[in-house]
Structure 1
Amino acid sequence: MSVQRSRTRRIRRLSAGARSIAFPATERERERRRIAIMCLPFFVLATFAGFVPLVVMARMSLSAENLENAGWSLAAWETLLAEPVYREIAWNTLWFATAATLVSVALGVAIAHAIEKYSLPFERVLVAAVSFPIALPGIVVAFMVIVLLGRQGLLTNAAAFFTGSSPIDLATATTVFGLFLGYVYSLVPRATMVLRGTYAEVDTRAEEAARSLGATPLETFYHVTLAEIRPGIVAAFILTFRSALAIFGTVLVLQALAVVTLRVDYELGVGFNTQIAGAIGLVYAAFLIAFTFAGLRFVDSKAVEI
């Protein structure tokens, strides 16, 4: 009975809330209606660009027929759990994204510190150059890596000229290093932009006090500045790690390491195994959503403020 009463009260509260939004009588209710109206386009977009594709992927992964959603089968999920190659792919995805994120955030801290703490020449040009990769598709980034580090790449041939080695032996564009470089090039601007906002709120008086007491610039950064920008570092890590998991074009061209996005393309392009592709996509999306909510809970716990 208590469960039924609780459910009834919850339904009544939802009904009352819907009525207050539809027919507001107070200023607070009118404010809620304005918020609901402003949020409506987002919910429409989330429904058709997020929830509906997830439902279709879930149905695809349970289909008994390939290329169409017909019947029911757990064969795709059994394959995903039984085949070692998929566990290896998941591991590659996690460690590679984590490593690229850590390096990108570290570089973002250094770049943001230099821009915000020092009067650099051509600062606007530098900021534009740092933020430029955000506008580049992953495929373009991959071809830039090939132009620099491929067999005919500029840096490859320059190194071959000075060392006397073969460009074929020195080419690293399609190795793990080349893929890692493409990831970092795309992720550093995202970390830097977040950290620049954090640096703008740093209390410079504490830094000046530390310097006046004899602390070196490195000691001041470690003991004072780092503590103040730690929330921004956490925020940059969350954003950058999510972006690393979502990179597709760079992996597609520089196929040096099997990761989730490449495997989905493989399943669709070789054999057209839509069931396994749907299962991989669903696991990928579920992990991304879970990571996002975990990050938000960490932020909401006031362990860090973004």
Structure 2
Amino acid sequence: MKGSSITGIGVHVPDGELRNDELAERLNVSEEWIFGRTGIRSRHIVGDADSSSSLGTVAAQRALDHAGLVAGDLDTIITATISPDLQFPATACLIQHSIGATNAAAFDLGAGCSGFLFALAQAKALVESGSARRVLIVGADVLTRCADRNDRRSSILFGDGAGATVVEGIDAPTEIGRFVLRTDGSSPELLCVPKDSPYIQMNGREVYKAAVAGMTEVVSDAIDSEGLDLDKTWLVAHQANARILEAVARRLEWPEHRVIVNIEHYGNTSSASIPLALNEAMDDGRLQDGDDVMLTAFGAGFAWGAGLIRWRIPSPTKRKEVQREALHV
């Protein structure tokens, strides 16, 4: 095997929804105040019976179905989460059991909201080194449980959800390109859950500046190495905040019509945000076979990065159409 490719994707969000009108009443602010600062109008929230593993299990099974695989085909499961079900064992172990992936090693990866991107880089390395043939990545977080419901800074931002992708080895040049990954652990207090509190602590102004500068830098590095035409390349960034997304795209001079944004109805879903955005763009027909997609994320740590993928999977509806046509040949 010479390369690796994403061959399936699946997502899941909980049924509960928290709209801006409800938040506005609780926080004594206006709906416009919330939307103007975040670009968010609503977000999905977990119920008492939900967890990162329960959301991730549904997304994982949908990704396997999309790839035409069963759980027993997997060699490895990587779960990117910063809201695990338990301190240990890993949430990946719980998902492994839930889907019946008895042949797969399973472990968690924590890189804040950049978790999915870092996990994708790890999956590529495992597959292209020959250490694995099929890797399932699950990005799942329930950060509404870590946000103080009375804190205007954090309670308006976060939503819950999960997204999963299957990465497989291919006998062809890789469809998952070079990654540019960075970490700066010098100021953890700017974005963290401190020892003396169960809630997210965030310096919004400093996080904004670091996120915009960081994602701009790594995407620029990746662009230079890949020689991309921005008019033909999608930009999918971690859906942290609409103002951050707009600032990054503006600094990169990325064409607005090639930037995928879906934060309005999901909020910041941490490790789930990139697969949620990819899945929506696939389903609505924007993301087509052969499209180049630049992924970038920034999260607590700080940890951030960027990487290029080539999209090679049809939507589930399109795949069924192709399968039906094949049966009639």
Instruction: Pick the structure with greater CA Rg.
Output: 1
- When the two structures are superposed, what TM-score results if normalisation uses the length of structure 1? 0.21
- When the two structures are superposed, what TM-score results if normalisation uses the length of structure 2? 0.20
Considering fraction of residues, name the structure with more helix.
1
Considering fraction of residues, name the structure with more strand.
2
